[in-house]
A and B are shown apart, each in its own frame.
Chain A
Amino acid sequence: MQKNTHKYEYKQLEAFKATLELGHIKLKTLLVNLLTLVFAVILVIVTYQLKINPNYFYTFIGFFILFFVVNIAFYSYNEDHYNYLRIAMYFNTIALFSITAALIIVFQTPSVFTALFLAYAIIFIYQDYKVMVLSNILVFIFGALLVINFPNILDIPNNATPQVLLIIVFLFVFVVLLALSSYILIKRKMFFYNQLAQIKESEIRNIDMLEELHGIVDKEKMNVNQYYDDIEAFTEVLTDKLEIDNVFRRKIQLLRELDQKSLIEIRENYANFTIEEIKRLRLLELRVNHKMRNLAIKASQSKTIDVDKTEIFSESQFKSFNHIEDSLYVKIISFVVFYVLIKIDKPYLKEIPEETIKDVLLNSKYHYSINRNVLKIYLNNNAVFDTIVNDILKEGEKQ
Chain B
Amino acid sequence: MKTLLDRIRHSEFLTFNEVLRLKLIIVTVFISVFVILSYISAPLSTSQDNTFLFVLIAFSFLFLLTILFIAINSNRIAMHLSIITILGITFAFVNSSNYFYGFIMFFVSLTVIIFYHDIVTYLIYGGLVTGYGCYYIITNGSYIVGTNSLNPLISQDTYLIVLLGFYIVFLIQFIVSDSIYEKMNNEWLKMSKILSRYQSFSTKYIDELKEKNKETAIYDSSRFQQTVNELSTFINEFFEEDGSKIAEVVEYYFFLHSQDIDEIINSAEGSVLTKRYAKQFKKYMLNDNSEMISLLYDFATLFKETPDYSIHRYKYHLSDLFENRVDKLIALAFLYKYLKTEATQYDKYGSVKRMLAHDEITEMFISKEFREFLSFELVNFYLDNQELFREHL
Q: Which residues of A contact B120 (CB under 8 A)?
A: none
Closest chain-B Cβ to A105's Cβ sits at a distance in Å of 11
Q: A39-B165, A121-B173, A326-B280 are in contact. Are A377 and B198 (CB under 8 A)?
A: no
Q: Given the complex, which residues of B lie within 8 Å of A301, measured CB to CB?
A: 194, 197-198, 344
Contact partner of B111 (CB less than 8 A), chosen from A165, A178, A369, is A178
- With A169-B38, A209-B202, A315-B13 known as contacts, the answer to whether A307 contacts B165 (CB < 8 A) is no
A199-B208 contact in complex given A108-B146, A231-B334, A303-B369, C-beta closer than 8 Å: no
Which residue of chain B has its CB nearest to the CB of A190?
B12
A193 to B47, CA, bound (A): 52
Chain B residue numbers with a CB within 8 Å of A107 are 148, 150
- Pairs A-B, 4 closest by C-beta atoms: A109-B146, A191-B12, A300-B344, A296-B338
Given contacts A50-B151, A121-B165, whether A177 and B111 have CB atoms under 8 Å apart is yes
Besides A217-B212, A252-B330, A302-B370, 4 other CB < 8 A contacts? A203-B191, A231-B334, A335-B235, A366-B299
Residues of A within 8 A of B65 (CB): none
Q: Smallest Cβ distance from A224 to chain B, in angstroms?
A: 11
Residues of A close to B112: CB separation below 8 A: 177
Per-residue contact bits, chain B 1-26, to A (CB 8 Å; 1 contact, 0 not): 00000001001111110010011001
- Contact partner of A125 (CB less than 8 A), chosen from B172, B218, B284, is B172
What's the least CB distance linking B162 to chain A, in Å? 5
A160 to B297, CA, bound (A): 70
B161 touches A42 (CB 8 A): yes
- Interface membership of chain A positions 219-247, coded 1 if the CB is closer than 8 angstroms to chain B and 0 otherwise: 00010000100110111011001000001
Residue B373 CB within 8 A of the other chain? yes
Cβ of A145: which chain B residues have Cβ within 8 Å of it?
Answer: none
Q: Are B147 and A393 in contact (CB under 8 A)?
A: no
* B337–A111 touching, CB < 8 Å: no
Query: Is B303 in contact with chain A by the CB < 8 A criterion?
Result: yes
A125 touches B15 (CB 8 A): no
Q: Known contacts A300-B345, A333-B250; decide if A12 and B334 are in contact (CB<8 Å).
A: no
List residues of A (97-128) whose CB comes within 8 Å of B's CBs: 107-112, 114-115, 117-118, 121-122, 124-125, 127
A205 to chain B, nearest CB (A): 4
B272 at the interface (CB under 8 A from A): no
Cβ-defined contact, B117 with A181, below 8 A = yes
22 contacts between A and B (CB under 8 A): A11-B308, A111-B158, A111-B162, A114-B104, A121-B169, A125-B173, A152-B148, A156-B145, A166-B43, A184-B8, A185-B177, A188-B19, A195-B188, A205-B301, A218-B343, A227-B334, A237-B391, A302-B369, A304-B197, A315-B15, A321-B284, A340-B227
Cβ–Cβ contact B115 & A177, under 8 A: yes
Answer yes or no: A311 CB below 8 A from chain B CBs.
yes
Indicate with 1 or 0, residue by residue over A164-181, a CB within 8 angstroms of chain B CB atoms: 011101100110111011
Classify the secondary structure of A's interface with B. helix
Q: A284 interface residue, CB < 8 Å from B?
A: yes
A74-111: which residues lie under 8 A (CB-CB) from chain B? Answer: 107-111
Contact with B along A365-399 (1 / 0, CB 8 A): 01011000110011001001100110011001100
B147 with A169: CB separation less than 8 A: no
- B231-248 residues with Cβ-Cβ distance < 8 A to A are 231-232, 234-236, 238-239, 245-246
Closest to A381 in B: B234
Bound-complex Cα distance A1 to B351 (A): 46
**A202 interfacial contact with B, CB 8 Å:** yes
Given A196-B184, A241-B385, A333-B232, the answer on whether A127 and B162 have CB atoms closer than 8 Å is: no
Contact check, B146 vs A235: say whether CB atoms are below 8 A apart.
no
- Bound complex: CA of A314 vs CA of B172, how far in Å? 25
